[in-house]
Structure 1
Amino acid sequence: MSVTKTVTVSIVSHGHGDMIPLLLQDLAQHGATAIHRVVVTLNIPEPTLLRWITSSSWPFFVRVLQNDRAQGFAANHNQSFAECDTEYFCVMNPDIHLIGNPFPALIERLQDGRVGCAYPMQTDGRGPAKDLAREVPSPRGLFRRYVPWGKSQEAPKHWINGSFMLFPSVVFKAIGGFDERYYMYCEDVDLCLRMRAQGWQIAVATKAIVRHSPRRASHRHWQHFWWHLQSLWMLWHTPHYRAVISKPVRSVWR
């Protein structure tokens, strides 16, 4: 199956000038055959990073967007999607590191017409790769996740974190992209639940493995913690969240 130059990758830098060069080099080394375009959004001014990107040579097109004011995760990736003219659209965090080329395995999963999003296995570099799909963050689900004795039963899989998601572009457009009312946190949960509500499945590609080293800012900064709480409150009042809570369904996961 050919995957030549069929992917647009969206990366957003929130002052990640130390990570973006490493990721771009990873993409050039491992993903150049699959990637047609990389859209890098500078959410805040980063002149040193901008000069480095524009003065370097890449095996794919690189488009740099510079925001006049900071935007949230959802708005930034939706803005990048406007630059997408390929069959597939990939949302990727700056703290992702490629171990090999994940795109052939991911695109293979998307050949099933029922699958609207494919994602890779993830490792933190200290253990084996895992499928990090999670239960929807309901009060009960959060209890099971963070309280040791709450993990006695297997939790259902409702969503995958937005650190690495690959969509057919037609699907991302059909579901309206990310909901920009979420400034930060839960926009990936919301998108997964809306996909489920529209009949799309989410599939893990077990042969695709990436390393992810998240900073987990909501664990350290009150501003991020507050954004997280606001996003949870908004999510809990959506019809697609209530549908999952009232009748959990596992069969939409592949």
Structure 2
Amino acid sequence: MSDSGFQDEGRQRLQKVLANAGVASRRVCEDYIVAGRVRVNGVVVTELGTRVDPESDLVDVDGTAIQLDATKRYVMLNKPTGVVSSMKDDQGRPDLRRFTKDWPERLYNVGRLDAETSGLLVLTNDGGLAHVLAHPSFGVTKVYIAKVEDRVTPQTIAKLTAGIELDDGPIAADKARLLDASGQSSLVELTLHSGRNRIVRRMMAAVGHPVRELVRRQFGPLHLGTLPAGRARELTTVERGALLTLARRDAPSPGADPQP
């Protein structure tokens, strides 16, 4: 029976869609398909005549998600201190709008950093991705570097990973590392997947080392690198693939037929 019923308007040949997404030339993309390296909605596809809808189907090559919908924008911002994580602040404080004016799309932040914390924020118009990555149950890993008061000991680092009790329940760092302890302050690197409010500041205060400065260096697979404070840039193809792969990891496949 012909599959022409699925070849409705908006659906395109898979190799063309992959080539348009910058994966490789159309000929190389055909080789990928035949070799079984391409999946559509979680199912390996080897037929060159396969058609997909770039706006709804999820495609990956060698397990890395491919961005097909060109209307979606993904931006990394190094948020400076003194800026609230909002597109419009009711109290008139500096917000994120100044960093999005170079893009025509309406971008929104994925999660939040408090006003006095700097570092990596993702801005996007992909609401589905933003919801998944910001949801506490998804547990996206974040890496922070905190400059804290006084000299932190190895025993304190061990306490952070073993777990401490806060007002809203117990918490433990996935990883904790002492980077420097000299003079009247220390540098501590904390890796967490918690999305609780001001969690790093509250954890460090609980072990007797209030935070002086705090920066988020990593969000999931994304690294801040050398991006200066107050600057924003689009994610690279590799970064987009890594972020989309993470977001799709536990997501149900769209368009999947529930019938056997």
Structure 1 length-normalised TM: 0.25
Question: Which structure would you say has the larger RCO, counting Cα contacts within 8 Å and 6 or more residues apart?
Answer: 1
Tell me which structure has the larger Cα radius of gyration: 2
Structure 1 or 2: more helix by fraction: 1
